[in-house]
Amino acid sequence: MVPNVTSAPGTAAHGTTAPAEAVTPLMRGISVLRLLTEAGGTAAVSELERASGLARSTVDRITATLARMGYVRLDGRDAVLAPRLMELGNAYLAALRLPALLDAHADALADELDESVSLAVADRDGIRFIHQATRRRAMSLSFRIGDLLPAERTAPGPLFATEWDETDWARWRERRAADPEDHGFPAVPPRSAPYATPDVAPYATPDSVAKEIDDFESRVAAAADQGWALDDQLIEPGLVAVSMPVRQADGRIACVVNVVSHTSRHNADDLRQTLLPRLRTAVATMERKVREVCGAREVRGAHGAHGVHAVPDVGAARSTGLAAWTGASKQELGREFVESLARGLTVITAFGEGRAALTLTEVAEATGLARATARRALITLEHLGYVTAADRTFRLTPRVLALGFPPLSRTTLADIAAPHLRALSGLVHESASLAMLTGDDIQYTARAATTRIMSVNLTVGTRLPAYATALGRVMLADLAEPPLPIPEPEPLTPRTITDPGELRALLDRVRHQGYALVDGELEEGLLSIAVPVRERGGRVVAAVNVAQHSSRRTPEECVRDILPELRATANRIEADLHVAGRFRRVPNS
């Protein structure tokens, strides 16, 4: 079910009335994205209509526009978040710079401790994770990058609260009084009992909330004194964590490193005694990295943070051709395309590495928008809490991560490929698959089958010898030393190439031409053509193919008719993979 929106389209999350210059279609579009995010990434359009309070025609126009931008996929009656939407969150993470600087250190700490390690930034009186290095266990961390957690139920929260002013404290107390059971934080279990005492009473009460306020203030004072903080089962029974801040050169908190465990492995006191010393060492290394690279420049993720910033390299901003694209989209879709929504969301992508703080002029130049249009979009985004303004410059806030990033941060390569494979299969009327290289074999991880009396009958998980398949050959061709079978394998059919020298020459040809075609070598009558799928760095991580019976096309017809569509599909998968994998490792399945 889609949750109800926490505020009407005309108000910000904190309840203030929208400025007169705010762009209403942009506000409505963002509310739909928030609803889709809170629904886990998929919702029926009718549910979005009910939850948002918008007219069905309005929701249809919003989803059509988001689909045109590649941010949403329309699947029958459902709207589904698409990986390209992650470019909004990527803009914030790139501008922040902390993930690029500290991810490897967090991953190394997780390996050393064999526990999950997260990096968190502040978002008003909550926290959001910007990186996760999780352990694969039955009991493991389930929070996602971008999830919002209440400060008082976490270990990082008291550390960030040491920098709160009276306005911040007043906001936090107001929120606790208005939402005592934390229904405004869908990433955490709602409170059904008083703070930190889950077996005392069935419901949160005014007295328990008052006690929590006192307890949190005490935890904040302790964190300020000792420089670290604990979470002893504040979110749910069994979860414990210890945190330390990474401070920038001016002493303010850039982010917090959070080590999470389960009481089956560590209790809270054990975390402090056993893991805290190693956490201190890792944090010291991270601080040196931040200060070495950033110096006195602002890298904090906190909402409303101030600081020195570098002059942005606007010339490095990508040329979006936005005006021409929105004009063409408007001409094609007519009133179904909401131009102001598309333009407003594109303003977010003007920010990035080297462009953490932009003036109005720089935003207009980076997007190609008129200054007046860019200004209204920035006013709207500031009102909604996605942008903060100071000294005539604008910055993104961590709230941008609420626009689809949490559910999409768990996207696998198989998830990315699936809709593209279905589209390809529907276009060429043949089966299409994605496979990975596993030792000497390929393993199918995504597949779209066609409906034919005679069709290629393979399932996800099937393994086949790489040397005799088109999928395997395009992946083997990318390796410096392809692991060809030794001794020489038995032929699978009379046409199977098994001679190692001939196979190596064939792989050289595959590498040069960018595709592989196998005709009857794996099975008589089976014709397959495949192309590689490359990650951001250019390494081949998978391959996609179209397989068919050889009676339907000759190899020459396959190259002429199928290969162009297959390459276009691989390009689309790669484009989504590059967005999804910019700040995280995309798992295969």
Tell me which residue of 238, 277, 282 sits closest to 260, measured CA to CA. 238
Mean pLDDT of 465-487: 85
Q: What is the pLDDT of residue 143?
A: 77
Residue 433 to residue 277: CA distance in whole angstroms? 48
Per-residue pLDDT at 301 exceeds 70? no
Q: What is the pLDDT of residue 485?
A: 62
Q: What is the pLDDT of residue 297?
A: 52
Q: What is the pLDDT of residue 203?
A: 47
pTM of the model: 0.88
Tell me which residue of 276, 286, 283 sits closest to 102, measured CA to CA. 286
CATH of 413-580, one of 3.40.50.300, 3.30.450.40, 3.40.640.10, 2.60.40.420: 3.30.450.40
Q: Using pLDDT thresholds of 50, 70 and 90, give the confidence band for residue 223.
A: very high
Angle between helices 339-348 and 56-68 (to 10 degrees): 50
Q: What is the pLDDT of residue 195?
A: 46
Residue 93 to residue 315: CA distance in whole angstroms? 20
H helix or E strand, kind and range, residue 542: strand 540-549
Q: Out of 55-69, 438-452, 517-531, 563-577, which region has the weakest mean confidence (pLDDT)?
A: 438-452
Return the CATH number of the domain spanning residue range 24-90+306-408: 1.10.10.10
H helix or E strand, kind and range, residue 314: none
Tell me which residue of 188, 159, 161 sits closest to 172, measured CA to CA. 161
Q: Whole-number mean pLDDT of the chain?
A: 87
Amino acid at 422: R
Q: Hey, where are the domains in the chain? A: 24-90+306-408, 102-294, 413-580
Tell me which residue of 29, 141, 124 sits closest to 404, measured CA to CA. 29
Task: State how far the alpha carbon of 514 is from the alpha carbons of 332, 501, 533, 542, in Å.
Answer: 35, 20, 11, 13
Residue 297 to residue 197: CA distance in whole angstroms? 42
Per-residue pLDDT at 524 exceeds 60? yes
Q: Out of 255-259, 268-272, 435-439, 456-460, which region has the weakest mean confidence (pLDDT)?
A: 456-460
Mean pLDDT of 1-10: 48
Task: State how far the alpha carbon of 229 is from the alpha carbons of 152, 158, 256, 271, in Å.
Answer: 11, 7, 10, 11
Burial degree of 213 (CB within 10 A; 0-12, 13-18, 19+): middle
Q: What is the pLDDT of residue 200?
A: 39
Residue owning tokens 């694969």: 136
Residue 450 to residue 428: CA distance in whole angstroms? 9
Per-residue pLDDT at 4 exceeds 60? no
Q: What is the pLDDT of residue 239?
A: 86
Mean pLDDT of 32-45: 96
Per-residue pLDDT at 101 exceeds 60? yes
Provide the pairing of β-strand 42-44 with 148-150: unpaired
3-state secondary structure of 433: strand
> CB of 119 within 8 A of CB of 258?
yes
Residue owning tokens 């009958």: 457
**Architecture of 102-294 per CATH?**
2-Layer Sandwich (3.30)
Residue 19 to residue 272: CA distance in whole angstroms? 48
H helix or E strand, kind and range, residue 77: none
Q: In what order do the strands lie in the sheet with 229-232?
A: 148-150, 126-133, 116-123, 253-262, 239-247, 229-232
Residue 282 to residue 305: CA distance in whole angstroms? 25
- Matching CATH topology for 24-90+306-408 and 102-294? no
Q: What is the DSSP string of 474-526?
A: HHHTTSSS----SSPPPPSSTT----HHHHHHHHHHHHHHT-EEEESSSSTTE
Per-residue pLDDT at 315 exceeds 70? no
